[in-house]
Amino acid sequence: MPNNYYAEKIVLVTGGGSGIGRELCLKLAKAGATIICTDIDPDSAALTISLIEDTTKGVAGKLDVTQLAEFENVIEEAITKYGRLDLIFNNAGIAISGEIRDITADEWKKVMDVNFFGVINGSQTAYRYMLKQGFGQIVNIASAAGLIDYLALMAPYSVSKHAVVNYTKILRTEAKKLGIKANVVCPGFIGTSIGTNAIVANARQSWNDHAIEMVAKGISVDKAAGCILQGVAKNKEIIVFPFEARIIYLVTRLFKGLFRKAMQKQVKDFRANYRVS
C-alpha cells in the first residue's frame, strides 16, 4: 500500500459482513488500520472481525445504513473510543433486476434507501465529525452501472449508483478546501453473493441464476479490495476497475446508439425467455 497509507487509521466500513466490505476490513486491518466493521446483520460483521489476525484491531456492530440515527450512534461511539474517524467506506448495497414496468414503488424505495440514502446518511454524518476534526476521507462504493447509461433491466440499481457518483463528485468539490477527501468507486463485476439477495421483479429464477453466474465470473474480492485501497490512497476521484470496465464505459460513451440497440436486444431476449407475463 502506498506509504503505509492505512497504518494507524480509524476506519468505518458499512456492509462489512460479506463480499467487498469483508475483504476491505481484512486488508485494512492487515495494513495496520483499526476497523469498525458494521452490517445490518451483526453476526456477519462479528465473523469478519473474527477473521482479522489481531482481533484487538477491530470491533463489530449493527448498522442499518437506511437509519440515520444508527450512523449517529456508531460514529459518536467511535469518536469517543478512538478520538477520531479517519475514513468511512460506504459500501453496503443491494441489487435489483427486472423491467421498469414491473418494479413496484416499494422496490424503488428499498433500493434508493440502501444504495443512495445509505451513502448519504453515512457521508453526511461522517462529514460533520470530520469537519470538526479538520481531516478525513469519505469513500463511496458505487458501480460501473453508475457511469454507464441505458443499462436496461436494472433501472433502480443504475439510477441509485449514478446518484452516488454525482453526489460524491459534488462532495469532493465542496470539501476539498475544508480538508476532507471524497472518492467514488465504480467497479465492474466482482465475485460476491450480491446476486443471491437481489430483488427480482417479475422474472423467472433462471434469470437471476444467469445474473448470479455473471457476477461469479467477475474478479476476486481480493483483487477488487486491492484496487479500491490503492485508488483511495492515491485520492483518485473515480476509481474504475477492472480494465474491461473502463473499456466498456468508453465504448458505451463513444457508441451510444449501438449500445442502446444492444440493450434493446437484451430486453427483447428477456421478454422472450425470462419475464413472467
Ligand X SMILES: NC(=O)c1ccc[n+]([C@@H]2O[C@H](COP(=O)([O-])OP(=O)(O)OC[C@H]3O[C@@H](n4cnc5c(N)ncnc54)[C@H](O)[C@@H]3O)[C@@H](O)[C@H]2O)c1
Binding site for ligand X (CB under 6 A): 14-15, 17-21, 39-41, 44, 63-66, 91-94, 114, 118, 141, 143, 187, 189-190, 192-194, 197, 215, 218
Q: How far is the CB of 163 from ligand X (least distance, A)?
A: 13
| Distances from the Cα of 69 to the Cα of 8, 48, 56, 125, 180, angstroms | 27, 23, 26, 9, 22
In whole angstroms, give the CA distance from residue 24 to residue 28.
6
Q: How far is the CB of 207 from ligand X (least distance, A)?
A: 17
- Residue 179 has phi, psi (to 5 degrees) of 90, 5
Is omega for the bond preceding 2 within 30 degrees of 0, making it cis? Answer: no
Point out the catalytic residue in the list 157, 167, 249, 274.
157
Residue nearer to ligand X on the CB measure, 44 or 133: 44
Strand segments, DSSP code E, in 63-179 are 87-90, 96-97, 136-141
157 counts as catalytic: yes
Residue nearer to ligand X on the CB measure, 124 or 133: 124
Q: How far is the CB of 118 from ligand X (least distance, A)?
A: 6
Q: How far is the CB of 134 from ligand X (least distance, A)?
A: 28
**DSSP assigned state of 187:** E
Catalytic residues: 157
